[in-house]
Structures are given as structure tokens and as C-alpha cells.
Chains A and B, each alone.
Chain A
């Protein structure tokens, strides 16, 4: 088993490849890291030269294929989740204090701003993306899921593999032990899920938190209020076919809260682990 770790998109990325340590497999791991950095350079909002930053600054762009695809995925997710997942929460995130790369939060004063509602209009044409005036996009979570999916698919040609970028994880191929055991944090300790295919993602308010004048802030914005969610959940882990889908599901189920979220996971058949703020763990969607 080859293991390669690096830092990208503001998180620790770990890549596992079940293959002998040949030059080809080592080159594939290096290519995976390169792909992550390439996508980060397009999708980050913290680099003023990225395609996303230029779109947010100018309102229109002739996008690279990857940006166009992620925006379309994000808008599709907004439609399917009834707006619970929304890429236009950029200004609300900034207003909540997430106005710089997470490593830098705390290194300077956070400017108080008014929160901004989400739901802005985004036009995606054949060769152009245009934003309604005042609308800006944040593709942090879904962009990471997209990078995880892409990287896992690239590595799949070299053997069974797993790509884990913080909470977004995708696997391709069946390993010798028939499933990948993955540790998930719960209130009672660690729960191990055996995943034979697909992906999982975890969303929560227990990390990426910071102090503001109005108390603790976090990065999970509720698009209905434009403010950090006051969900009764601490974190949700959802399993899906792709990391993009798992990321959207985890965020939507988190914002739904414990009662609605667990019911929705059962209805949709989405295996999920819910950890509540008061320290309980609930399994849903067929997990036992």
C-alpha cells in the first residue's frame, strides 16, 4: 500500500494506492497531488488570480471547463436541496468572518459586516458564466469534493485507491480486504465504516470555528438566514456515489437538523452518521 500525504485546499490530503511501489505508481501519486493543486488554483476564492476570484470580482468570465462543471454541479445541488446547499453564500461567509484562508483566521481583526442573503442568480451559458450584480460564489466544499473525485478517478488506473481530503473521501476499486475501513468521529469515540465503493463526506460546525464579537462563528452558513447555522447537530457524515454528492448531502442534512435530517436520510436511503450537539450519535439510511 502506497501512502502519500500533502496539503492543499486548506486541508491535509491523504492518498492511498494499493499497488507495488513502482515508478509508475509513485508517478501516479505525484500526478494526484499535481491535479489537486491545479484544481485549487482554479477554484479557490483566496487567490485573487484564480478563475473563481476573477469571476467574483468581474461578474463574468469565460470559464475553464472545471470551473464551469463545478458551478453547474453546485447549481444543480441548490435546485435539488431546495436551496439548503447554495454556492452564493460567499458574502454571508465573509460577513461571518471567513474572509481569508482558514489558517489565517485569528491572525488579524475580523471586520464586522452585515450578513448577506443567499439565493443569487447565476447564468451559465455555453462559453460564459455571469453573476447577478452583488452575487459572488464560494465553491470551497464542493470544489474539494470535485478534486477528490477527479483525483480518485485518475489514480484508479493504477489500482484500488482512496483519496481523503479532510472530510471528503472517495474510493475507487476494491482492495484486497474487500472494503476500505474508514474511521468516523462520533460522540462515543470512533466508528469504523467499511466502504466498498463510492465516497463519503463529513460536514460540521466543530472545526473551522472562530471567535467573533457576537460569539463563535463557523463556516456552515444557512442560506435561509445568511448566518452560521444554529443546527442542533455537531456534524453529519454521509455516504454517496461521489464525493461531490456526499458533500452536498452532508451539508444539506446538517442544515436540516437532527429530526428532519435523519428522516430524510432514511427516506432517500442515504447511509449517514449524525452527531448531535448534546453528545448523541444516530445512524440512519440503513446503517446499523
Chain B
């Protein structure tokens, strides 16, 4: 009687263990979740984020290049302006000295009649 009861318990337990194992195997907990299982909107958003990031890197590179070129040109331009301003200041100082006519001792510049074709013409002002 006792042996029979024990066998019945053993069979029931074996059946329960069998079904539990089956359920666990059927669930395939070791398998990777598939892409199809992901929300497609989330996937699209992730792709867009990656694209925007790449574009921002490209834009930053272009801007940095353009700014370097601008800085170089600006430095050259400032040098040119400084050189011209210095030359203008020297010339203005020279003009102040040379523009005062002196009739008491006129020193007419060297001039003569030539046959070369004129580079410009003068007439009544």
C-alpha cells in the first residue's frame, strides 16, 4: 500500500516536472530578441539620430576650415591696411612740407617740349 502510494506520487511529480521542463524549453529563454520585436518608430528615431550626428560633425569640420581661411585672409588684409595707412601718413606729412609755394625763389621743375605721344592732356580747369 505504501509502495503503491509512493509510486503514484513519483509519477505525478515526474509528470509535473516534465510539463515544467517543456514549458521552459518552449519559452527559449536563451534566444536573442529579434529586430522585428522592436518598435519600428524607435528604430527610425535611432537611425535619424545617427544621421544627424554625422551631419553635425561634417558641418563643424567645414565651418572650422572656413573660419581658418577667414582668419588668414583677415590677417593679410590688416597688414595691407596698416602698410597703406603708414604710407599715407608719411605722404601726408611730406605734402604739408612741400605744398607751400615759394615765389621768392621759384624752382621750376625740369620741363621741355618733346615729341613723344602724351599719356594725358591738360586743358583749362
| A interface residues, Cβ below 8 angstroms from B | 1, 11, 14, 16, 23-24, 27-28, 31, 69, 73, 76-77, 80, 141, 144, 146, 149-150, 153-158, 162, 164-169, 177, 179-185, 190-208, 235, 237, 239-242, 244-245, 247-248, 268-271, 283, 285-288
| B87 (CB) vs chain A CBs: closest residue | A157
If A169-B120, A193-B113, A271-B111 touch, whether A31 touches B88 (CB-CB below 8 Å) is: yes
A-B contact pairs, 20 of them (CB 8 A): A1-B119, A77-B101, A146-B99, A149-B95, A149-B98, A153-B98, A185-B124, A192-B113, A192-B118, A194-B111, A194-B113, A198-B108, A201-B122, A203-B124, A235-B124, A240-B101, A241-B98, A268-B106, A270-B108, A286-B108
Least CB distance from A74 to B in Å reads 11
B42 interface residue per 8 A CB criterion:
no
* CB–CB A268/B103 < 8 A: yes
Question: Inside 8 A of A162's CB, which chain B residues have their CB?
Answer: 119-120
Question: Inside 8 A of A1's CB, which chain B residues have their CB?
Answer: 119
A240–B112 Cα gap in the complex (Å)?
Answer: 13
Query: Which of A69, A154, A242, A285 interacts with B98 by CB under 8 Å?
Result: A242
Question: Inside 8 A of B109's CB, which chain A residues have their CB?
Answer: 195-199, 239-241
B121 interface residue per 8 A CB criterion:
yes
B94 interface residue per 8 A CB criterion:
yes
* CB–CB B114/A203 < 8 A: no
A31–B118 Cα gap in the complex (Å)?
Answer: 25
How many cross-chain pairs have Cβ atoms below 8 Å apart between A and B? 179
A201–B125 Cα gap in the complex (Å)?
Answer: 8
Question: Inside 8 A of B83's CB, which chain A residues have their CB?
Answer: 24
Interface centre among A16, A144, A193 (most CB of B within 10 A): A193
Question: Inside 8 A of A286's CB, which chain B residues have their CB?
Answer: 108
Question: Inside 8 A of A208's CB, which chain B residues have their CB?
Answer: 124
Query: Which of B87, B101, B116 interacts with A245 by CB under 8 Å?
Result: B101
Range of interface residues on B (Cβ < 8 Å): 35 or more
Least CB distance from A61 to B in Å reads 20
A199–B107 Cα gap in the complex (Å)?
Answer: 12
B2 interface residue per 8 A CB criterion:
no
* CB–CB B111/A239 < 8 A: yes
B56 interface residue per 8 A CB criterion:
no
A182–B117 Cα gap in the complex (Å)?
Answer: 8
Question: Inside 8 A of B96's CB, which chain A residues have their CB?
Answer: 69
Query: Which of A181, A190, A248, A268 interacts with B119 by CB under 8 Å?
Result: A181
* CB–CB B101/A194 < 8 A: no
B91 interface residue per 8 A CB criterion:
yes
| B112 (CB) vs chain A CBs: closest residue | A194
Least CB distance from A138 to B in Å reads 13
Question: Inside 8 A of B99's CB, which chain A residues have their CB?
Answer: 69, 73, 146, 149-150, 242, 244
Query: Which of B84, B102, B119 interacts with A27 by CB under 8 Å?
Result: B84
* CB–CB A73/B91 < 8 A: no
